[in-house]
Homo-oligomer: A and B are copies of this chain.
Amino acid sequence: MTRVRAEDYEEKKQIIIDKAAALIAKKGFDVATMLDVAKACGASKSHLYHYFPSKEDLLYAIVHDYITHQAADLTRILKQPLPAEQRFGLFVDSFVQGAARARNEHVILMNDLKFLPRAQREHIYKLEVEMTQMMEGLLREINPRLMAEERLQTPYALLLFGMMIWTFTWYRRSGSISPKELALRISELFVNGFKAQPPTLLKT
């Protein structure tokens, strides 16, 4: 029988991830120090290095856990046997509510990817590209004539992500609008504007 880790190993690791995410989201990766994180956990720096070999590995754990769950949720939604616009609505709802639930992780994903070592950074990028491509597929179903122009597929998908992602630089749960309502307004606004878009622009 192999020696096992402490039974609360994963729990303690998750505490570090959560506390670190809060600090890094607030101050930025390079301003938040490992000593800050240690104090927030009520532990020493050495405690952190027992669980994560480097500060970058801690960052990677934060963003990887988050984006992996998000991508899995979105993949599941796309497989449902529903009309494209309904799947689109569920996609936006899942993305927005996921980001609202894990606001720290979302902000870090937006701001601090550049601090990851190349290989880890590329892996996160790959998952982001996959989510963009899922969205491009949905948009092709919703407005095939417009999306027949290949050069427009990624831009339109990224405009939608812009609305959703930027939201969390200003959005507060305590505000006047719930995550569910916000998701619904975003998805209705985008889908109506997108369907009304002519295949070629009328003005120059």
Contacts and interface: CB of A to CB of B under 8 A. Distances in A.
Given A30-B31, A159-B163, A163-B159, A196 B185 contact: no
Interface string A111-150: 1001000000000000000000000000000000000000
Chain B CB within 10 Å — which of A181, A189, A201 has the most? A189
A38 interface: no
A8 to B, nearest CB: 35
Nearest to A158: B170
As for how many copies of this chain the complex holds, the number is 2
Interface of A: 27-28, 30-31, 111, 114, 151-152, 154-156, 158-159, 161-167, 170, 176-177, 181-182, 184-186, 188-194, 196-197, 201, 203
